[in-house]
Each structure stands twice: as C-alpha cells, then as structure tokens.
Amino acid sequence: MKPVQRKIIHCDCDCFYASVEMRDDPRLREVPLAIGGRADQRGVVATCNYAARKFGVRSAMPTSQALKRCPDLVVMRPNMDKYRVASRQILSIYRDYTDLVEPLSLDEAYLDVSLTPQLQGSATRIAQEIRHSIFQDVGITVSAGVAPNKFLAKIASDWNKPDGLYVILPEQVEGFVAQLEVDRLFGVGKVTAAKLHQLGIKTCADLLHWSLPDLLQQFGKLGAGLFSLCRGIDERAVVASSERKSISVEETYTHDLRDFEHCIAELPVLYAELEKQVARTGKTSQINKLNIKIRFNDFKQTTVECRASQLDQQVFADLLQIGYQRRKRPVRLIGLGISVSDKPSDEQLTLF
C-alpha cells in the first residue's frame, strides 16, 4: 500500500505579542512598538512590530540598545495572561481541522492535515481558511507554510511574512531546496555556517556534492541531518501535545544581589509567584521535580534540581544555597521552577 503523502502546515503568528497589543489599541499600529523589559532594568525585547524592525530593532535585543536605534520606540511590558487567551483561541481553530497539532510556543504550531477531509483535503485551502478565521476571531495575522514535511513547512511560513502564505508542492521540493542557503538548515548556527562557507558550501546545491561519510567526518552527527535536509528529507512526525511539562518564574534584578543574604531575601516573592502559576495551571498534584536557576553578574549560569512531589520554600532555599556556593558572585537573575509528570504523584520522592 502506498504511504499517504504528508501535508504539513506551519503557522506562525506575526509579531504575536505586539499584534495583540495593536489589536487592543489601534493607535499602536502607527508607531514603533516593542514588548519587553524596561531599559533601566536590563530588559530585553521579546518581540516588536514591523515599524520597529525598520529601525533594526529585533527580538532578544537589550531594550537600551533598541531605544538607541529607535528613540521613539514605545516599550510595553508583556501581558502574558492576555497572550495565553489569544493562543488558546488560535489552538482551538487549528483543532477544528485536525487533532494532529504540535504547539511549539504560544504563537507557533505544526499541523498535519494529511487525512483532513475538509475542503477536499487541500492543505493550501485549509491554511487559507485558518488564517482567515484567526484574523476574524482573534484579530491578528498569521503567516503559514504548506509543504510535505516539517522542515520545509517552517521555512515556507517565513517566506512571505507578514500575513503571507507559501506553498511547496512535492514536485517543487528539489528545486526549492537546491537554492536554499545552508544557514537556513536546522542545526546550522553561526559556527557551523562559517565552517560550511570555508568549505565552499553556500547553498544546498553545493551540499549535494558531499557524500554522507564525508559530512559525518566533518560535522559528526549533524552531518547526517545536513545530508537529508539538503535533499528536502525530513521524516519527523507532527506530535500532538498540549501537556505542559514545566512551570517557572524568574526575575532579573535592576541591581546585582551582592551576597547570599540578599538572594535569600528575594525568595519569598518568587515563591509566592510560582505558587500562583502552579495553582492556575492545576498541576499541584503532578510535581516531580523542583529546580532553581541562578545567573551571576559575569553571565555564567547554574541550575540545581531535586526530586520532590510538592512545593516547598525551604527546599528552594537549600537549592539556592547550593547554586550560589558554586561561584559566590553577585547575582543578576534568580528563577524557580517545577517539572511535572503525566500522572499525579503518589508519594513524596527522595530529596536530592
């Protein structure tokens, strides 16, 4: 029996946080807008609208740097509760067409519509209708890519941003991939891209001349991925999942916490916020680990975790002390978190 040709859609909301804010206050559509932390509190840009991007403002950029590039930039603190509501609305629309929805974040997801009967099974028409429904019901725009696999669908969704749709048919895969720059392949960061360029490999067409053994020798396990992706091959399935596996809160401090006493003094506030988050998600009975993250003033980071089945402020205090002792330097960020299991915990697990 001939296997079903996969039809994968990758949907990516356009500047999601900023889009939600512009939806709720149309005046913001006319100005450069960034969602993120304050410049005087070491904030960074979470996302920004396209008016801000014209000035070179980008996600993950320090807010202070963004304001230097765009002095008129409007900076708003994130309203995560509002964004989660919009995300749930969008996921509900996706699931009107298929149960095979793999969320990657609040604003991004893969859909497998290979067996979807609506609209005569046309992935292109399904993507068009989804984008229209999200605009009508949620009030923001979404870009989508349609392709025979996840790798190509994700690249396609970025092809006509913002508010675009790009389709790669099975018979177009070979030609489309050949002209792709290798920088766009999964797993290729700055270091790997530089090495590829040094070897004279700029596009996937260049990469096709390399054998699998040679790529493995040059790049290790990544070589196998490069060999497949430059041929447009990606066998990963869309894995439907809506279960949250972790919950965390963190705080970046305006002034470094200079010693352990100052760090431990901040713990009750973080713990109270984590308690609220856990209660809100209904995961109290599914806790299986507690963890703490510390980022020191030299930007080195450490994490400590232990097995546990319930929240315990004293345990977090012990973890904080262990982590702090590793470097004994001023601290710029502290984060508390939990990991959750699929089933409720039956008994208290051994600490450490």
Low-confidence ranges of the chain (pLDDT < 70): 1-3, 241-244, 342-352
Q: Are residues 253 and 224 in the same domain?
A: no
pLDDT for the residue 232? 93
The domain total for the chain is 3
- 256-289 b/e (C-beta count within 10 Å ≥ 16 → b): ebeeeeebbeebeebbeebeebbeeeebbebbeb
Same domain (yes/no): 36, 136: yes
Distance CA 330, CA 106 (A): 33
Q: CATH no. for residue 187? A: 1.10.150.20
Q: Work out the angle between the directed axes of helices 212-219 and 222-229 (0-180°, nearest 10).
A: 140
- Decide if 174 contacts 195 (C-beta within 8 A): no
Same domain, 255 and 301: yes
Return the active site residues. Answer: 108
In the block, which residue shows the tokens 């965390």? Answer: 248
Does residue 350 sit within a domain? no
Q: Is 351 helix (H, G, I), strand (E, B) or coil?
A: coil
Q: Could you give the CA distance from residue 172 to residue 135 in angstroms, rounded to a whole number?
A: 29
Q: Whose CA is closest to 148, among 165, 163, 128, 167?
A: 167
Q: What pLDDT is stored for residue 283 in this prediction?
A: 79
Q: Please report, in range form, the residues annotated as the binding site for Mg(2+).
A: 12, 107
- 16 with 42, same domain: the answer is yes
Q: In the structure encoding, which two tokens stand for residue 314, read together?
A: 């004293």
Same domain, 222 and 328: no
Residue 212 lies in a domain: yes
**Model confidence pLDDT, tens digit, residues 207-245:** 999 999 999 999 998 999 999 999 999 999 999 865 667
Count of C-beta atoms within a 10 Å radius of residue 300: 11
Choosing from 147, 168, 189, the residue where a domain stops is 168
Q: Domain span at residue 262?
A: 246-340
Domain boundary, last residue among 131, 149, 168: 168
- Tell whether 11 and 159 lie within a shared domain: yes
Residues 100 and 206 in one domain: no
Same domain, 181 and 256: no
Tokens of 269: 């506030």
248 touches 338 (CB < 8 A): yes
In a domain, 9, yes or no: yes
Shared-domain flag, residues 257 and 150: no
Kindly state whether residues 29 and 132 are assigned to the same domain.
yes
Q: Which burial class, exposed, middle or buried, applies to 238 when counting CB atoms under 10 A from its CB (0-12, 13-18, 19+)?
A: buried
Q: Provide the residue type at 142 as one letter.
A: V
Establish if 234 belongs to a structural domain.
Answer: no
Question: Is 31 exposed, middle or buried, given 0-12, 13-18 or 19+ CB atoms closer than 10 A?
Answer: middle
For residue 256, the SS3 value is strand
Q: Are residues 148 and 189 in the same domain?
A: no
Q: Strand pairing partners for 76?
A: 35
Does residue 239 lie in a domain region? no
Question: Is this prediction's pTM over 0.75?
Answer: no
The token pair at 155 is 């690249």
Q: Which two tokens stand for residue 196?
A: 């590829």
CATH number of the domain residue 324 falls in: 3.30.1490.100
Same domain, 219 and 301: no
Residue ending a domain, among 151, 168, 185, is 168
Q: Please indicate, yes or no, if residue 187 is contained in any of the structural domains.
A: yes
CA dihedral (13, 15, 21, 26) in degrees, to 10, reads -100
pLDDT digits (tens, 9 = 90+) for 240-291: 865 667 788 888 888 899 999 999 999 999 999 899 888 877 778 889 899 9
What the block records as the tokens of 211 is: 């054998």
Q: Is residue 20 part of a domain?
A: yes
Please give the pLDDT value at position 37.
86
In a domain, 179, yes or no: yes
